[in-house]
A = this chain, B = another copy of it.
Amino acid sequence: MQNPLNLDEVKRVLEAVLLSSSGALSLAELKRVFEVELGNDFLRRALEELKSDWRDRAVELVLVADGWRFQTRPEVQPYLDRLNPEKPPRYSRAVMETLAVIAYRQPVTRGDVEDIRGVAVNSQIVRALEERGWIEVVGHKEVPGRPALFATTKQFLSDLNLRALSELPPLPELARDLIPQESLEDAAEVPWSG
C-alpha cells in the first residue's frame, strides 16, 4: 500500500492511525504519517469522508482544539459505564467557578478570581486544574509580587469537545435572573457577543 496513494488507501491508513493514537492528531501530524507529501485539501477531504463514513456508528470522528480524533458518542456512555463504573470525579462548585473565571476572562491572576468570587481561592483548586491539564501559567502580571497569569489549555478545549474558546457557551447575560424584565433592557448597554 505504498506510493501512489488513492483516496481510499489514505482513508484506510488515517482510520487506523487515528483509532490507535492516544491523543488528537493535527493535520501536520497526519501528513507526517505518509511517506509521500499529501496536500492539505486532499487530506482534509479524506478526513471529511472518513467522518461521514462513521456517521451511523456509535463512534465518531471529531475535530477538536488539538486536531482530529475518534471518540464514542454520548449515547453509548451508559453501556461503557456498566463496564467501568468508576467515573472521573465531579469537581466542586469552587473548582468550576474558578475554571469559569479563567476560561472566560483569561489571562487572570488568582487575585482576579478571588475578586470575582469574593472568597480566597484555595491553592488545591488551582493545583487540581493544573494537574488535570486544563489551566496553565502563561505569564506574570507586572505588578508587585508578579502574580502568575492563568489561561486555559488546548487540552481543556479538547476534553470539552471544543475547537476554540469561541465555542464555549456564551456568557449568561448579566442579571437576567435578578433584574425584573422591564429594567433589563436599560441595563444591557453592551450586547453580549455570545
**A interface residues, Cβ below 8 angstroms from B:** 1, 12-13, 15-17, 19-21, 25, 29, 32-35, 57-59, 70-73, 75-76, 78-80, 82-83
- Nearest B residue to A78 via CB reads B35
Contact present for B79 and A16 (CB under 8 Å): yes
A60 CB → nearest B CB, Å: 10
- Nearest B residue to A2 via CB reads B78
- Nearest B residue to A20 via CB reads B72
- Nearest B residue to A25 via CB reads B83
- A interface, by DSSP: helix, strand, loop or mixed? helix
Report copies per complex.
2
Partner of A76, one of B16, B35, B82: B16
Q: List 6 A-B contacts (CB under 8 A).
A: A12-B58, A17-B83, A19-B72, A25-B83, A32-B82, A34-B79
Task: Tell me the bound Cα distance from A72 to B19 in angstroms.
Answer: 9
Partner of A13, one of B25, B32, B70, B79: B79
| B contact residues around A82 at 8 Å (CB) | 32-35
A82 CB → nearest B CB, Å: 5
Task: Tell me the bound Cα distance from A76 to B34 in angstroms.
Answer: 10
A7 CB → nearest B CB, Å: 14
Task: Tell me the bound Cα distance from A79 to B16 in angstroms.
Answer: 9
Given A16-B59, A29-B83, A34-B79, 6 new contacts (CB under 8 A): A16-B72, A16-B73, A16-B79, A19-B70, A20-B72, A20-B76
Contact present for A58 and B15 (CB under 8 Å): yes
- Nearest B residue to A59 via CB reads B16
Partner of A32, one of B12, B33, B71, B83: B83
Partner of A19, one of B17, B25, B59: B59
Task: Tell me the bound Cα distance from A12 to B16 in angstroms.
Answer: 18
